[in-house]
Structure 1
């Protein structure tokens, strides 16, 4: 039985949906209800439109791998996250909001540094960054905010080194990125933050053209801009995407993952007391599945009629692919609400799926493996320095996490 457009005139659940009080790690209960009863159904979003919400793991993977569905936010029917992101996404295009062949052509220009072998070669330098920051933690006062003192600096230092951005500018790019990932930011605020970052990287690319180094921005400047394959502005916008995604998401996974482990001491012990790299790698995949910090769904629009989950999504219909609840699908992951670091969670969709899956996932994995295998071993008595009910979660963000995480030892 298929749902018709007339059904959308009835009362529809609003999306995004609130999490249950006291359950900060779990997706909203309404998503679970839809997954079990109406896994492909319409919801209403901020602009009054009624895109389809897809909640089951296999349906989500099938659609993300389907060329009949588009990531282009300029198309009619695309379900924009907020009024501000609608304006920003239509004004500033990067490869993640393009379809093939343009998407593939531009993505290939920045793929090489994120290849698994290249990223593995960075492991010793990432380990040094983590160890140095932990040395500073141990030598300083406590309690300390783990977000500002550790979770945010680790990926920021790594992505700065990879891109060739001076880390001394971290306050500038972190503050502007926070505006970009805040759901409540206005269009003017989003455009101003994006423009400030793009202007800065545009100027930096000019320097790289004159004096190239061994970094990704230098490669874009000398191999793409100088040859006319990209304009300097396009290269700068690509750099903004990589700089923001390269620190914001991983920083939230470090902090939220630490909180989840502190709340599950039996699982924390598996990381703290073991030294098997396979255990650490499995733990990273399970924490990615369990937490799924990109919690506003993958946004798409159908280019043709598609039948999925007993429904027909018509050409021009918007689609929200709810990865946070897909990663808690009991048909894909038995007992999905349990954090189990021994689980084989490799089929999770925290990084998406298909041609648009996260470019930087190999780097994120190595960073998280180094952090999770080092922090709790070196500070075995790490503990919250405040009550869990005092923590402020990023319910207003496009990326989920905690604003601060006071810890002691």
Structure 2
């Protein structure tokens, strides 16, 4: 069955799109037509989404004709600069194995003291600015921006350039031309940064990957991917998490009473919001059965992680936020060979930020009614454009 208008727009900030939930209940594997005209299989159950994301026969190679994310722009230079998320084995396996060591639990845990410093100093600056702020620009964006900049070895004097261009992606009034310009600025900057590391290696991920055998083009793609995937997504989760705590005083009080709940709160909020909206589109390269449904070679597939994380068969009372749920089996970071490389870093940043906000700003409150927060109703990542707060 094909629906004519399958929207990605959320009407409730606390819920995935109504049509996604309806499909999961009534027809969990079904062909749908998106509002842009594309037809693909919508996969909505937790087990089925994991099955698709874990099967390399569902290709991530966006250069393939028929891939749902191939919009005709994957020839020439774009194909040469293909990023890790756009690759299939064996190319993907080789490059991912090479960089995985940078993101182990042990390696990321060693970053905790520096991330704590970044978070504490960012909160210091926000509190020193007065009694009101936009949390997005004052905290949510700067923290992951500085962390990623240091990971890539961006010189301190370039941090402002880095943050200004990165922030353009989430500005509500930024034009498409401004977003494209900012993206071009950052790609060019990272290309120059990689080139400089060829001549003058340092103690950073780019230098270590060059030493491990990564090529310049591969590393430029990786650097840009880390920036986009590790910056906006984490910033969105910080904002959504704080907005939820301020809107739900009962949840905030739980963390004040027992700070040890923060790691569980991070996992539950990741499950609940599942902010990556478009990253799980694949192309079947063979006839494959999923959940009793045959998907033919050449057909497009979309794994809807947002409703997979609300699957009542896996998460009882899925619309309830429960910090003690133990939701590490969520698919907010994806699943399988393309599971988010930086998930350990994102978790650590979120834990440190939430703990610090709860501990340091006991009078923090929303400066506008919750309904007036400008949520991103549709787009590649869910979040808010601004979060006015006061203390």
**TM-score normalised over the length of structure 2:** 0.92
Q: Secondary structure at the match of 1:51?
A: strand
Match of 1:243 in 2: 227
Number of residue pairs the alignment of both structures matches: 390
Match of 1:74 in 2: 63
Distance 1:182 1:165 in 2: 23
Match of 1:147 in 2: 136
Q: Is the 8 A contact 1:157 1:167 kept in 2?
A: no
Match of 1:270 in 2: 254
Q: Rate the CA distance shift 1:16–1:92 in 2: closer, same or farther, 3 A.
A: farther
Distance 1:295 1:161 in 2: 27
Q: Is the 8 A contact 2:286 2:297 kept in 1?
A: yes
Match of 2:311 in 1: 329
Superposed, 1:347-386 pairs within 5 Å as 347-386=329-368
Q: Is the 8 A contact 1:183 1:397 kept in 2?
A: no
Larger CA deviation: 347-356 vs 70-79: 70-79
Q: Residue 110 of structure 1: CA displacement?
A: 2.0
Q: Residue 137 of structure 1: CA displacement?
A: 2.0
CA RMSD of aligned residues (A): 2.6
Q: Residue 181 of structure 1: CA displacement?
A: 7.8
Distance 2:8 2:277 in 1: 10
Q: Is the 8 A contact 1:63 1:69 kept in 2?
A: yes
Q: Does 1:19 align with 2:3?
A: no
Match of 1:4 in 2: none
Distance 2:162 2:211 in 1: 24
- Extract unaligned runs of 5+ from structure 1: 1-6
Q: Secondary structure at the match of 1:249?
A: helix
Distance 2:209 2:117 in 1: 27
Q: Residue 342 of structure 1: CA displacement?
A: 1.2
Larger CA deviation: 33-42 vs 126-135: 126-135
- Extract unaligned runs of 5+ from structure 2: none
Distance 1:186 1:101 in 2: 38
Q: Is the 8 A contact 2:310 2:319 kept in 1?
A: yes
Match of 1:292 in 2: 274
Q: Rate the CA distance shift 1:183–1:348 in 2: closer, same or farther, 3 A.
A: farther
Distance 2:307 2:121 in 1: 37
Q: Rate the CA distance shift 1:163–1:402 in 2: closer, same or farther, 3 A.
A: same
The one of 113, 122, 126 aligned to 1:124: 113
Q: Secondary structure at the match of 1:53?
A: strand
Q: Residue 188 of structure 1: CA displacement?
A: 7.9
The one of 159, 178, 181 aligned to 2:148: 159
Q: Does 1:135 align with 2:114?
A: no
Q: Does 1:96 align with 2:85?
A: yes
Q: Residue 46 of structure 1: CA displacement?
A: 4.8
Q: Residue 381 of structure 1: CA displacement?
A: 1.5
Q: Rate the CA distance shift 1:403–1:283 in 2: closer, same or farther, 3 A.
A: same
Q: Secondary structure at the match of 2:33?
A: coil
